[in-house]
Amino acid sequence: MLRVSIESLWRKVPTEFSAHFCQRSYHLRTMQSDHHENHGARDHQKRRWNGNKRSQNSGPKSKKSKSSKNVVGVDVLLHDVVALLEAQKLRDDSGQTRSEDDLITSETSNTDIQTSKTPDNTEASLSPQSSLPKPFTEIDVEVKEISSTGDGLAIHPESKRIYVVPFSVPGDLIRAKVIKHFNEEEYSTADFISVVKAGPLRDDSRVQCKYFSTCSGCQFQMLDYEDQLRHKKTIVEKAYMNFSQLPKEMIPPVDMTIGSPLQYGYRTKLTPHFDAPKGYISKADKLRGVKNHFKGVPKIGFNAKGASYTLDIEDCPIGTDAVRMGMKRERLRVASELEKYTKGATILLRESTLRLPKNETNISKTLPDTIKTIESNHIDFKSCVTENRAMTTEYVDNFIFTNIANEFFQNNNSILSPFTQYIRDHIMPPPSNQVKIKNLIDAYSGSGLFTITLSSLFESSIGIDVSAASISSATDNARQNNLPTSQANFMAADAATLFKEITYDPDETVVLIDPSRKGCDEAFLSQLLKFFPRRIVYVSCNVHTQARDVGIIVAGLEKNSGEEIESKKYDIESLVGFDFFPQTSHVEGVAVLNRVDKDEENSKLL
């Protein structure tokens, strides 16, 4: 019998999964809070591995809240490092025949990798008995795999030391600059310098951005797209292996990652930024209102990989044409209005679509600064909105969605049609004699994407979100799509208390969950298990917290008056990743859970 408490499971996973490292101290850099902003991340937290316990040196302590007090910042990267260390040790101990990858290392070990260059260009021996190379020493290492963070995991052939090197793929022989050693964990971090010998997976002719390998936004532009999808499948697999706390037999095979129709030009939102003008101002001058002013146009763009400074980036090929056009326009505007700025700023670039019938094509003459796309029955005019509180419009198939520009909406419109179709195809149970499902509860509903696109499947749907602004947009969106409130209703509430307000019959209800990166809290999961709906569909922008939460649901145990009691159970029907962000290490996860009733469980035992 699998017996674990919600609290013990809920503690064993990171809130963020993407580790980017600062140039010299190699702090953990976490993503921005907008689900998965791949550009401009600025938050730092020191990284130290201590099993599943928080290190006392884990960086600044944030104010604890009810929703976050039990979340532990376990670094996903280190699970991959430990696994590679163990695999390497097993291989060395068993004297196993070398693989093709090992032969690449063997062929180069007597030539390219016998020495390293220190900062003063002197040669330093790297024999297994020697001390580790000093920081900023250049060494050559061969990459064995890509971690779930998107960084390459490389092994130095003589010292057998693991080095974490960005912008590298399996089979690459990479020249890297040593940054920091973590002796207790037996690995080191290094900066990418150059490719000594390209592996079979690398093709640099695929790279479409001149800032690739310096900008922190993309990791995989050198990889074939099918290889990117295969890697993201392994991310989902490892997430459930490491964080669900479930035995292997309870985790179904992960389906192949579903790709994005667009691999470039897909992001409908970008947020480049620039830093405040430099210069010291005394406290006395600050009290008098003295401020620094720019002496020239600042660098406007995104953070450099592994550093705290901003790269000056005039164009980003993963943005849509409208967003890229807006980026050029906004850079010129900032330069012309520089006297208005005494602080740094983030620039909002958000695509908005005006859709018109084909017989109104003459309107195109009065729509400057737009990108025109012609479809079979209509013409879309796409523009770039830059005001935070302005309204934007997007279409998903024939559904229309209007949102406040700086509020969250999925940033890859091209994948939303196959994404919502997949949910539509899998949200209902297989045909049976059981009670028909009539109701949908859309937790963390945002502006109503799922409630509205799935509305035709249910007699009644309700979307819940803590943001009153999102609920206002969702209500307007339902009205624009001609949905009555009985079919698509919304209310502003905390997801942790939503089941107190719901009168649906659980046997006739599906619950769809789409939380932020931190996943669901204990209160929500406990209520969900008590409500016990017929089906659960869990959509997540962080497959590691998703795996943790799904593990809790499938384990089927809840706490009652401080004691663990056995609850009813769920099976994982399917697991799949969606590639919302090609060229990056991010993957969106969808888990479909089916309730196992006692009669079904008994029939399985017969």
Give the model confidence (pLDDT) of 66-103 as tens digits: 333 333 334 788 899 999 999 988 777 766 544 434 43
CA 426, 233, 214 angle in degrees (round to 5)? Answer: 130
Q: Residues of 562-578 as b/e, b for ≥16 C-beta within 10 angstroms?
A: eeeeebebbebbbbbbb
Q: How many domains does the chain have?
A: 3
Q: What is the mean pLDDT of residues 335-344?
A: 86
User: Is 5 among the domain residues?
Assistant: no
- List the catalytic residues: 541
Residues 440 and 389 in one domain: no
Residues 601 and 492 in one domain: yes
Distance CA 185, CA 47 (A): 12
Q: What is the mean pLDDT of residues 159-170?
A: 95
User: Is 60 among the domain residues?
Assistant: no
Residue with tokens 């796409």: 382
User: Is 36 among the domain residues?
Assistant: no
CATH number where 110 lies: 2.40.50.140
pLDDT at 173 over 60: yes
User: Is 43 among the domain residues?
Assistant: no
Distance CA 84, CA 82 (A): 5
Q: Final residue of a domain: which of 404, 436, 454?
A: 404
So what's the pLDDT on residue 280? 66
497-500: long-range pairs with CB below 8 Å, 24+: 497/523, 497/527, 498/441, 498/443, 498/464, 498/527, 499/527, 499/528, 499/530, 499/531, 500/527
* Whole-Å CA distances, 478 to 395, 418, 539: 13, 21, 21
Question: Three-state SS for 55?
Answer: coil
User: Is 74 among the domain residues?
Assistant: no
* Whole-Å CA distances, 560 to 11, 548, 566: 19, 20, 10
The DSSP symbol for 304 reads B
Band of pLDDT at residue 307, cut at 50, 70 and 90? confident
CA-wise closest residue to 371 among 347, 354, 396, 346: 354
Residues 163 and 280 in one domain: no
User: Is 45 among the domain residues?
Assistant: no
CA-wise closest residue to 109 among 92, 123, 126: 126
Determine which of 29-43, 85-99, 413-427 has the lowest per-residue pLDDT on average. Answer: 29-43
Residues 423 and 391 in one domain: no
So what's the pLDDT on residue 365? 62
Residues 458 and 381 in one domain: no
CATH number where 483 lies: 3.40.50.150
Residues 136 and 283 in one domain: no
* Whole-Å CA distances, 440 to 263, 319, 421, 458, 600: 32, 34, 16, 7, 23
Distance CA 323, CA 413 (A): 13
Residues 280 and 338 in one domain: yes
User: Is 129 among the domain residues?
Assistant: yes
Q: What is the mean pLDDT of residues 107-121?
A: 43
Distance CA 63, CA 69 (A): 9
Distance CA 492, CA 443 (A): 11
Determine which of 110-124, 158-172, 413-427, 503-517 has the lowest per-residue pLDDT on average. Answer: 110-124
pLDDT at 306 over 70: yes
Question: Three-state SS for 549?
Answer: helix
Residues 398 and 493 in one domain: no
Amino acid identity of 529? L
The annotated binding site for S-adenosyl-L-methionine is made up of 410, 444, 465, 514
Structural domain containing residue 207: 98-223
- Say which residues have a Cβ less than 8 Å from residue 96's Cβ, sequence separation at least 6: none
Taking the mean position of all CA atoms in its chain, how far away is CA 94? 37
Distance CA 385, CA 390 (A): 7
Q: What are φ and ψ of residue 453, in 5° steps?
A: -70, -20
Distance CA 303, CA 272 (A): 9
Q: How is residue 415 written in tokens? A: 């994948």
The annotated binding site is made up of 410, 444, 465, 514
Distance CA 307, CA 26 (A): 9
CB atoms within 10 A of CB 390: 14
So what's the pLDDT on residue 106? 36
Distance CA 573, CA 119 (A): 55
Residues 190 and 246 in one domain: no
pLDDT at 589 over 90: yes
Q: Are 237 and 556 in contact (CB under 8 A)?
A: no
Q: What is the mean pLDDT of residues 46-54?
A: 36
pLDDT at 411 over 90: yes
Residues 437 and 468 in one domain: yes
So what's the pLDDT on residue 251? 97
Question: Three-state SS for 345?
Answer: strand
Q: How is residue 95 written in tokens? A: 């004297």
Q: What share of the chain in percent tops pLDDT 90?
A: 60
Residues 368 and 388 in one domain: yes
Provide, for the chain, the percentages of residues in helix, strand and coil under a 3-state DSSP scheme, each rounded to the nearest 5: 30, 25, 45
Residues 509 and 598 in one domain: yes
CA-wise closest residue to 513 among 541, 537, 482: 537
Q: Final residue of a domain: which of 404, 427, 457?
A: 404
Backbone region of residue 411 per phi and psi (left: phi > 0; alpha: psi in -120 to 50; beta: other values): alpha
Q: Are 48 and 55 in contact (CB under 8 A)?
A: yes
Helix (H) or strand (E) segment spanning residue 164: strand 162-165
Helix (H) or strand (E) segment spanning residue 371: strand 371-374
User: Is 231 among the domain residues?
Assistant: no
Q: Final residue of a domain: which of 386, 404, 422?
A: 404
CB atoms within 10 A of CB 336: 10
Q: Are 370 and 393 in contact (CB under 8 A)?
A: no
* pLDDT tens, position by position, 223-244: 999 999 999 999 999 999 999 9
